[in-house]
Structure 1
Amino acid sequence: MTEPEREREEDQARCWVIGVLDDGPQGLSDAARERLGRVQRVIGATRVLALCDGLLNPHAERLDLTGRTASVAAWVSEALDAEHDVAVLATGDPLCFGIGGLLAARLMPRLPPSRFRVLPNPSTLQLACARFMLPWQDARWVSVHHCDSGDWVCGGTPEHGLYHLAQALTGASGAGDLIGVLTSPANGPERIARLLLAEGLDDVFAIHVAECLLRPDERLISEVPAAVLASARCAHPNVVLLQRRHAAPARSVFGLPDAFFAQRVPARGLITKREVRAVALALLELRPGDLVWDLGAGSGSLGLEAARLCPDGHVHAIERNHLDLDLIETNRRRLGVTNYSATVGVAPGDCATWPAPDTVFIGGSGGQLTPILEMVVQRLRPAGRLVVSLVLLENLTTAMALLDRVGLDWSVTQIQAARSSPLAGGHRLQPENPVWLIQARTAQDPPLPDGSRICV
């Protein structure tokens, strides 16, 4: 594109999304300064509006988006409909966890791209990496700029503001050796340090904090122990960089030996055996983002392996024996799994508040098989999968009859495995108890109330 063509295209733009850093006008390009002096409407947070106030047309309308992010797209649309130029001020790079992504999603589908221009600055994450001389091309970026959910508690659910950071720390979502964290006043370095301590990762990651970047009071904090930082008070705004000190241990994706899992002593064996576990996981047909229920978790072996196969999902597990919850927690820490929540209780009653599942595994029913199945059938999402592990013939016939009654497609797989064991200087095959696995699935689309289906 020639320079005249570029200028003509820029003249068509009526919305300018401009990245601003804490050095204010000093860090803006000439193009950004020129546009800020011409627009009739300026949208930005209180702090950013104040930084750029001297550059604005005195008659320009100023709209504060603090606490009103959802209104920004409508404000931009109003200005464009009135043929007014509008500028939206963001922090750093507007398309890196910024307002630019929201505007693109809401306005671009119905407005031509030529109406918009983004003038980015370096993101604060990029600046922090520069301060600490940390290459960032393979870094994982996480934002904890959410509402205050309190300190992280092991077994937290996706609603928690630190959940995705916990996932990245344990490598569940493909984290690398460097994790950059956009913080908030509530979810700051102190709370992140307490998360590391709670998950036993304080020796795994070095913590770097960049406070007040580009301000006169800028301060860099590096290699402070998590236990010290946990009770410190850091100045805001800040950015946190978590640098892995040593590689995470490599483990099989699934199919771990039974001996890996802590089990009840002396009554060992409250575990879905590896051969059955492998087939059950296959029958669940897990997807990366699935929400999984594990009913009758025992030692947690199946649910924990399911959590590792669903790095962007979550597993809710329930076990009636409170002593087994300690075993589950031990096994969870061994595997470094954070997308897994276990609770003491009895299905179906104690699962009533859980979010609807994509997949359900029933490993134990405690004599409540029929009500559990009835509840699961009602709660499973469209195209959901159910796998039931059974060792009693009576439960098998009960389950098949119920699934027939509700009209679900189902199939049965019998697992009869045998393991080698020493005998008289040789080996023999020691048979394991036979297990039936029922797989059932719901329809792709839920039926309409009258039983008909949508036709398109």
Structure 2
Amino acid sequence: MVAVACVTVVGIGPGSRDYLLPAALEAVKEADVLVGGRNALALFASPEKEQRLLDRNLEGALDYIAAAAKKKRVAVLLSGDPCFFSLLPRLRERLGPENLRVIPGISSVQLACARIGLPWHDLRFVSVHGRGLEQLESVGDAGKVAVLTEERYPPAAVCRFFMERGAGFAAVWVFTDLGLPGELITRTDLSGGARLKGRGNSVVILLRDEDVFPGFQAEGGAVSEEPGCSPAGGERIADYMASPDDRTGGTAASGSGSPAAPGREWADVVTPGLPEDLFLRGEAPISQEEVRALVLCKAGLRRGMVVYEIGAGTGSWTVEVARLIAPGFVWAVERDPVAAGLVRSNLKRFGLSNAAVVEGEAPAACAGFPKADCVLVGGSGGKLQMIIAAAESWLRPGGCLVLSAVTPDTFSTAWQQLQGEGWERQEAVLLNLARVVPRGSARIWQGENPVFLLRAFSTGGKEE
């Protein structure tokens, strides 16, 4: 270790002079050399001071600091607080703690919590910046979590990670450019967070209890429902508020962030048609339980089958099939990454491991799957004819294809194609449902959208 004069490590907070400590300003004023990132150096632009940019050549920067400190007063400018996920450990290792003077700063997490009036002493802190999403495994069952993100692992990736593992976070806050003119704050849930674009360098706060701060009002005015508006206080706040149906699996009155975990009363049920409110919900479609029950009855499910599911959506079919065919296996194909995350979350929610979720578009995504006993088509992504043609080669002789459609055009296209060579015992059903709903002081029948169900069996005449 090289003997050096004292190096001052200065926490510059979020990057605005409004949040700089007087001690930090004094340390910068006294320094001969400033070392920091581009934004940090821009705060203290002065022709009188030597400046060195902290970039990807970290070892070169450390060499420079060690050499400069032998003759000059050096201040290293670090964003946030130097003692919170920063370069400080590397400086201690290189220069020795006895050669460092540290001036604290306001961390981005502190400022984020201040924005929403959230106590932060019991937060679980994680940084994926330069570390990877595997750091999130350490969260465990913590009720309040703060995650520092980066361009490679933005807030959407963090939310997808927790969705896929069935984490029960009811509320998600995303804070970007805190304390700066373009400050952006978003309140959402895991599903909404998984759809956010960009926002790489942000703070994400996840809460299992969304009523941690009931009635909260953002500084300067109420949280806006429209992205990009500016409340009276000058903050730019986007409030992505999922509808009650999105957050509660269709039970707006429950007020919870996710439906109750499936109880033991369903563990031994051997018929399809589980209630919709047992499944985690997002914007992905979920079939009505009566339609799902009839589809799976038409599939003639048996223990040990291999089933392809095309267009898995929320994963309600996937869960039901996996339960009923175990130890058989389900290959669930879904082209939307957010929906695929929901499928994985629902499988984990029901404790099922005999299914694989494949992100991609059928039929290409099915390459390499083993021969199927049954193919279920809930969504085709505009490739229905290609999927039906490919299903002839996917199915074992005597295997069945079951397809649901909500438009006459889709039904007509599928029905005509299934009359061709390679298919037999074609069957079509039009399902009309009606439910009793309140209408004033009375109750009436309210019809649901009709659903077409088609089934056909492979003759086994076509090989890959």
Q: Which interval holds the TM-score relative to the shorter structure? A: 0.3 to 0.5
The normalised TM-score by structure 1 is 0.42
The normalised TM-score by structure 2 is 0.41
